[in-house]
Amino acid sequence: MSSLLLMAAFATATVSCSKDDNEQVSATGITVEPATFTIHTGDKHTLSAIVLPENTQDRTVTWSSSAANIVAVDANTGEITGIAIGSAIITAATVNGKTATSSVSVIPSVYAAGTDTDGNNKLVAVLWKNGVASKLESDEYISGASSVFVTDNNDVYIAGKMSTDASDKAIVTVWKNGVIHQKWTDGTKEVEVRSIAVSGNNIYVAGAEKNEAGFFEAVLWENGVKKRLTQGIDEDAYAYSVFASGNDVYVTGGEYFRFYNSRKYAAVLWKNGVKQILADTSIYHSEAHSVFVSGNDVYAAGQISSRIPDLNEWGLATVWKNGEMQKLTNAIDNTAIARSVFVLGNDVYVAGEEFFPDGTSGANVATLWKNGVKQSLDNISNETIAFTVFAFGNDVYVGGVQDDEEPGEDTEDKLRAILWTNGEKQQLSDKKSIVTSVFVK
């Protein structure tokens, strides 16, 4: 009898212990790290969640965003992606409803495209994103990037060229998110690649290609299909910039042509392939390096030089708005050129350079004009050129190059890629390099 009682007591105790071991331990709290975070558009980061107590048996966490159009989050892993400028609350929740949050702010990314020098002393196409360089994929000996465009879903398109040697014969190349997306020529002709625009499913690249007669033709490639803007019968022509707006495609450039016994160069705007000469060719040589469309207004930027000596207008930085010419410099100023135009709201930004003579030589100084008011981005002791301008919010970004060669030197090895942000200069590389295009999103 005592043995049975002992066995019963042992059995009861055993059942009791088993019940304790199987008792569910639920979460009593959760924390998210970091509690606040700032991320650039297009970048990713994984948040971490800590479920308490440590012996919680079901530690499953589900993530959600208060604004998935600004900050997207993977529901299972907590990986966030910056989608658009703004902020969102990221919530981590346990299976029993305990929650914690992280406040995430998204700031714009600054993309600068150009050319850098790799460890083997080769020129390579490169994209600097927020100051960090990434070499673009290349299956040729050398490569270079000319222009960058970022779509609403943060796909990064870059136009440039690749070649097997240092000759001008090259392959027109489009990169998407750092890898080769498409090759549009076979590398047997000399080409110039200047500008890219993306609209919906269409990719446009402006440049030039040398024809069998030995002249460059201004060309617009649309999804790889070449469209000749000029015929290149007896003179060269170049397309420098492209802008897509709705169903319209605008291209600016320059075209040489002969008039009696003289040779003229004319600034040209093509809208859907239809040519408009921007400056009176009986008075000016001219060229248009950039085009920008804002609403119903079409802007172009470039340079004019008078063919009439008495006008004393040689090398004037110029902007056209709907075909009307505005001179940014005058005959009293130094020669200058406008290379890029950008419009934000009521403000018109133009980037280029002004030449300051110094005895028998002189120096170019990168220059920014805002609504016609000049700001020198550097001083005459530094040889600098501005190729591109982009305005975003209250910030203005200018990309270009500085030449660090000493007086008397004649080399390109000391060219350095430069990015100015609100006038503050940042050198992006310590090797031979250049920035030709900036995009902020």
CATH of the domain at 399: 2.120.10.30
Residues 222-247, mean pLDDT to the nearest whole number = 93
Q: Are residues 81 and 209 in the same domain?
A: no
Q: Which of 281, 278, 297 is nearest to 289 (CA)?
A: 278
Residues 100-104, mean pLDDT to the nearest whole number = 98
pLDDT of 377 above 90: yes
Q: Are residues 98 and 151 in the same domain?
A: no
Residue 243 lies in a domain: yes
Q: Are residues 287 and 319 in the same domain?
A: yes
Max avg pLDDT among 135-144, 176-185, 358-367:
176-185
Instruction: Give 404's pLDDT tier (boundaries 50, 70, 90).
Output: confident
Q: Are residues 366 and 378 in the same domain?
A: yes
Q: Are residues 103 and 131 in the same domain?
A: no
Max avg pLDDT among 251-260, 359-368, 395-404, 407-416:
395-404
pLDDT of 237 above 80: yes
Residue 23 lies in a domain: no
Residues 319-323, mean pLDDT to the nearest whole number = 98
pTM for the whole structure: 0.90
Among residues 107, 134, 154, which one ends one of the domains?
107
Max avg pLDDT among 322-336, 358-372, 399-413, 425-439:
425-439
State the chain's mean pLDDT as an integer. Answer: 91
Residue 238 lies in a domain: yes
Q: Are residues 68 and 138 in the same domain?
A: no
Domain that holds residue 369: 110-440
Residue 20 lies in a domain: no
Q: Are residues 195 and 322 in the same domain?
A: yes
The pLDDT value recorded for residue 23 is: 74
The pLDDT value recorded for residue 125 is: 98
Q: Are residues 81 and 150 in the same domain?
A: no
Q: Are residues 45 and 191 in the same domain?
A: no
The pLDDT value recorded for residue 313 is: 74
pLDDT of 3 above 70: no
Residues 408-412, mean pLDDT to the nearest whole number = 61
Q: Are residues 62 and 147 in the same domain?
A: no
Among residues 55, 79, 107, which one ends one of the domains?
107
CATH of the domain at 94: 2.60.40.1080
The pLDDT value recorded for residue 413 is: 81
Q: What percent of the chain shows pLDDT beyond 90?
A: 79
Residue 10 lies in a domain: no
Residue 19 lies in a domain: no
Per the structure, how many domains does the chain have?
2
pLDDT of 363 above 60: yes
The pLDDT value recorded for residue 4 is: 35
The pLDDT value recorded for residue 22 is: 59
Comparing 295 with 309, which gets the higher pLDDT?
Answer: 295
Comparing 232 with 231, which gets the higher pLDDT?
Answer: 231
Residue 24 lies in a domain: no
Among residues 85, 107, 129, which one ends one of the domains?
107
Residues 255-264, mean pLDDT to the nearest whole number = 75
What is the dihedral sign for C-alpha 352, 357, 358, 359? positive
Q: Are residues 261 and 154 in the same domain?
A: yes
Q: Are residues 82 and 150 in the same domain?
A: no
pLDDT of 422 above 90: yes
Residue 161 lies in a domain: yes
The pLDDT value recorded for residue 263 is: 73
